Structures are given as C-alpha cells and as structure tokens.
Structure 1
Amino acid sequence: MAAEGSSERPDSPEFHDLFLAHFDTLVAFLMARTDVGRHGAEDLAQEVMVRAWRSWPKLVGDVQDLGPWLRTVARRLAIDTNRARRARPEEILCDTSSNLAERAVAEEHDRYVLDRVTARAVMGLLGPRHRQVIELYYLRDLDIRTISRYLSVPEGTVKSRLHHAVRLMRRQSWRELRGTLSG
C-alpha cells in the first residue's frame, strides 16, 4: 500500500479501495456510539475518511490493515460529538408550517384550562372562605380589588386567603400525585 513518506496521491485507486472497504462499517460503528442518526454517522464517517486522506502519505499497510486506525479515529470523533451534544442545549425541532404567535396563544389557553381543571379538582379540600376566594380569582377571573369589594374584606385579607388556599391545594395535589405514581 502506501509507504511512509510516499508521494503517492491520496486520490489513488488504493484510497478509493480503502473508502469502499471501510465506509459502511464505519457508519455502523458510529451509529452504535452516537445518537446522531444515520445521516450524522455518515457525516462523521466522511470526516474519518478526510482525515485518512490527509494522512495518506504517512499511513502504512494494506487497505484491510488500516481498519483499526480508522476505528480509532472514528471512536475519538464519536466521543467529541457526544461531548459537544451534551455541552449545548437540546435541539428542538420547530414546525414552521404554523404561526408561532397562534401556537403561543393556544399553549397559553391550554395552560389556562389546565389550571382551571386542577383548581376545580382540589377545591373540595378547602374551607368555604378559601374556596370562595379561589373561585372568584381563578374561575371567574376577578382581580384582588374587585374580590375585596365583593366580599367586603380588605385586599390584604383576600391576598392572604388566596395565598393559603393555593398552598393547601398544591400540597394536597402533590400528595395525590405521589399516591397515584406509587400505587
């Protein structure tokens, strides 16, 4: 094959044979060691071949004998790729076919509905004063000042009842959730 210090061109038939002999096994090797999928593994295998091409004059041995060297390069690339993927935030596929503003409004509405359903589900846990404040604030969408006037109590009392009611509801819904998960 290529001898060390050889002036043989990397685009020689021997390099072509190297590519054909090892590319598919490198792709499989890289797919098993990374989570980049088939196309990503093919890209990495091409990078291995580029490095082999650059090092071609220094490589010694038959085309089949270079497999361990290629796998070592591929293993190091896989390690680097996995580290790079862990170091940056998770990639999120974005559906560009729909309007982002519409989706944001829909998600906000879904969250609003879920909050209402959750509030209704744990309302039975509360005393009448706390339940009344929760109903007025979350289910009827009244503000603190309006609730204060409606109940003829100071705004601070409304805020306090609201705070304690939400705390009780969270504590109880967490207990129920744990019970559901463990049972």
Structure 2
Amino acid sequence: MVTATATATTDEQALAELKREHGPALLSFLLGLTYGDQQRAEDLLQETLLRAWQHPEAFDAPYESMRPWLFTVGRRLAIDARRSRLARPAEIGDDILATTADPADVTDRAVAALDVRAAVRTLSPEHRAVLVQIYFQGRSVAEAALALGIPAGTVKSRSYYALRQLARSLPGYSRAAASSAA
C-alpha cells in the first residue's frame, strides 16, 4: 500500500514538472490554435495534461522530451473541439427569444383576423364577394365567375383591385415586408 501511494505521488510530481516545463509553451501554441481564446486554450491545456496523466506509458517513450507528444495531443484536441463546435447549431441569446412571439399565444392571430375582417368590410360588395369566393371558399377564378355570374376577367380585375385596397387599409402593412416574406 505504501508503494501505491509513492507511485501516485511520483506521477503527480512528474505531471507537475511536465506542466512547469512545457505548460507555458503548450499554452502559447494552443492560444494560436484557438485564435487567442484564453479560456479555450486553458481548457485544452488541462485536457492535454489529463491525457498525459491517463497515459503514463508516454513518460517511458524513447524520446528526449515529452513536448512533441504534448503538442500533438493538444493539436488533435483543438481540432476535435473545433469540429464539435461546428457540428452543433449556433446558440442564440435570450434577447432574441424575448422578442420572438410565443407560438402558443393566439393573441396576434386573433388581432390579425379582426384587422382583416374590418378591412374586408370596407370593400364594395362586388369586391368583397370576389374575395370571399376565391380566398375564403378556395374557388378558382372560373368557379368564382360561374358562382357570381360574371366573366372570369371581371373576377380577376375585382380581386386585383380588392387586394390593393386591403393592402392600403390593413394596419402595419408595408410592401417591403410583404415582398421579403414571399
């Protein structure tokens, strides 16, 4: 049992000496790989030293210095960390979530429906009838023309002018917002 404690102490001493001897150079190298991100570089340094501790056979390697082994492990860890970050979707802050409407909240849809109803009421009966046939009942131009007893060209013309009137009378409507949504 005394030998196990002595071995653990020796490993800790060797690791402390490894960090003292190669730590600053390795940290500088890792700072370059992380584009100057001090926190990431320090995390990678700690992970590299942990790997050295987990692989004591690396201390027995026939090399004069552990530095090439440490730099190789650190570089591979940096590459893996970067790939991992790029594989995940970008994180968003709370400020974006605060300005985004809750999909479960039906208030915005109810207000929009009331606005549309009020705007449709401002149309002439002929224009309103065409929109009801095409947009609310889902009929084609030919079907709406047949149902209303007017030519198809008249249905097209009335729907065009009715939609223009709605665009002007709906609150908050802008052509730029409509064209970017399309």
Provide the TM-score with structure 1 as the length reference. 0.52
Gaps of 5+ in 2: 1-6, 102-111, 132-158, 169-173
The one-letter code of the counterpart of 1:146 is A
**Which one scores higher on RCO, CA 8 angstroms, separation ≥ 6?**
1
Q: Tell me: CA distance 1:10–1:78, structure 2 relative to 1, closer, same or farther (3 Å).
A: same
Report the equivalent of 1:132: none
Residue pairs, 1:47-126, within 5 angstroms: 47-59=47-59, 60=61, 61-62=63-64, 65-94=65-94, 103-104=98-99
| Partners of 2:27 and 2:42 within 8 A in 1 | yes
CA RMSD of aligned residues (A): 4.0
Alignment of 1:146 onto 2:118: yes
Separation in 2, partners of 1:21, 1:28? 13
**In 2, Cα distance between the equivalents of 1:18 and 1:56?**
12
Show the counterpart of 1:10.
Answer: 11
Pair 162,143 (structure 1): closer, same or farther in 2 beyond 3 Å: farther
SS in structure 2 at match of 1:91: coil
Contact 1:10 1:53 (C-alpha < 8 Å) held by counterparts: yes
Other structure's SS at 2:12 match: coil
Gaps of 5+ in 1: 1-6, 109-137, 175-183
* SS of residue paired to 2:122: helix
Aligned-pair CA distance for 1:92:
3.3
What letter is aligned with 1:11? E
- Residue-pair matches, total: 125
Alignment match, 1:178 = none
Write the letter of the residue equivalent to 2:28.
Answer: A
Alpha carbons 2:31, 2:41 under 8 Å: kept: yes
Counterpart of 1:18, as a letter, is L
CA drift at 1:162: 5.0
1:69 to 1:85, Cα distance in 2 relative to 1, 3 A: same
Whether 2:175 is the aligned partner of 1:169: answer yes
> TM-score, normalised to structure 2's length?
0.53
Who wins on radius of gyration, i.e. which is larger? 2
Task: Tell me the CA shift for residue 142 of structure 1.
Answer: 6.5
1:150–1:58 CA distance, 2 compared to 1 (3 A)? closer
Do the aligned residues in 1 keep the contact of 2:52 with 2:70 (CA within 8 Å)?
Answer: yes
Alpha-carbon contact 1:52-1:70 (below 8 Å) kept: yes
Cα distance, 1:82 vs structure 2: 0.3
CA positional deviation for 1:52: 1.0
Q: What displacement does 1:18 show?
A: 1.2
